[in-house]
Amino acid sequence: ERENSTAPSYISLVADCSPTLARRWFPCFDEANKKATFQLKVSHPIETTAYSNTRPLSTMRDGSTQITHFAKTARMPTYVVALAITEQPSIGLNADGFELRAVGRTREDLLKTSTEALSILRNFSVFDQVPFIPEKTDIILVEDYIIGAMENPGIIK
């Protein structure tokens, strides 16, 4: 529980693979010019939700845990593989065929973040004159994230 905060406390695990740190997760060639596809299968407590670069294909209960199986990623460097497991609430917005989900501590934070993010992402399309329509985008609001934000394909922390 944070001092001077009325927001609820949640347990979260957020993994960041900044360049050359993916090798701490799994054996790999951890260089920007070495790319591969990834398909994660994650076991986590039932009261949590798992997020990664791609959409979940399935989630199955297994006793007090659940197993979430994610779709295969496009070819990408290992350091942009992302995983977050949290019991924090989420909110989804869908506009112009673009799906955005925000995950965080309070509904007010989620509404503000998702509305602003959707506006920014729409403006990328206008500015670049190229449609910005990824498979999905999750924005995970992480407190005390010392490293700073990380923009991974499909998930921003």
All structural domains of the chain:
12-156 (2.60.40)
Token pair, residue 89, equals 């609430």
DSSP result, 6-29: -SPP--EEEE---TT-GGGTSS--
**Rounded Cα gap, residues 96 and 133, in angstroms:** 9
How many angstroms separate the CA atoms of 60 and 107, rounded? Answer: 27
* Residue 110 or 124, more confident: 110
Beta-carbon contacts of 20 under 8 Å, excluding residues fewer than 6 positions away, are 30, 31, 79
Q: Are 35 and 77 in contact (CB under 8 A)?
A: yes
Q: Which residue in this structure is represented by tokens 């790319």?
A: 35
Q: What is the DSSP string of 60-120?
A: EEETTEEEEEEPPPPSEEGGG--EEEE---EEEEEETTEEEEEE-S-HHHHHHHHHHHHHH
Question: CA Rg, the chain, in Å?
Answer: 16
- What's the pLDDT at 112? 79
Residue 152 vs residue 6, higher pLDDT = 152
Is pTM, for the whole model, over 0.85? no
Ranking 11-15, 65-69, 146-150 by mean pLDDT, the lowest is 146-150
Q: Which band of pLDDT confidence, cut at 50, 70 and 90, is reported for residue 125?
A: low
- Read off the pLDDT of residues 99-116 as tens digits, 9 standing for 90 and up: 778 888 777 877 777 777
Grade residue 150 by pLDDT with cuts at 50, 70 and 90. Answer: low
